[in-house]
Amino acid sequence: MKLSYQEIKSRLICLSISFLKIGAFTFGGGYAMIPLISKEVVDKHQWITDEEMIDIFAVAECTPGVIAVNCETFVGYKVAGFWGSLLSTVCVVLPAFIIICIISLFFESFKNILWVSYAFKGIRVGIIILLAMAVLKIGKYVKYNIFACIILAAAFILSAFSDINTIYILLGAAALGIFYNLILPYVKRGGKI
């Protein structure tokens, strides 16, 4: 479906506002942004479906860079093509860049203020809640079977109790998923397509 110039312009403005807001008001990094991204692009604007959002999260996690920036890039591309992708990426990064530049100017005087320390302790609790929301939101769309549960448990155990880099755990899970869903059925059919 080809969009008109006005529709693209409208989407670009909407993307900009949405991602500036997400970038400005999300603490805790990329994973804490996931529920806000999902609420904005799936629930509020209905640019993509929940299933597409889960796929975007999976691809964004497997590509180099910050998950939130990768998600915004993919979502922007899906909604408004190349310019949507570029604008979304800039808008989600810009608020944090500006805030960090301002804080760096006053960091020495900030770090000893008691109420600032208390505020950061409260923000940490909020981040945990945002992460839990992301897990619950994504977990609703996972097709659970014995294979998925084994992969989930193994990935959790390996990442929590070993020094294995999570990239290798993700790559291993991807390889097992390919084997389970593509190769195993092929072998069961006796090599017949």
**pLDDT range class, residue 192, cuts 50, 70, 90:** low
Phi, psi of 41 (to 5 degrees): -90, -25
**The model scores a pTM over 0.75:** no
What is the distance between the alpha carbons of residues 29 and 93, in angstroms, rounded to a whole number?
Answer: 11
pLDDT digits (tens, 9 = 90+) for 85-141: 999 999 988 988 898 888 788 777 776 788 877 887 887 787 788 778 777 877 777
| Residue 12: how many other CB atoms lie within 10 Å | 20
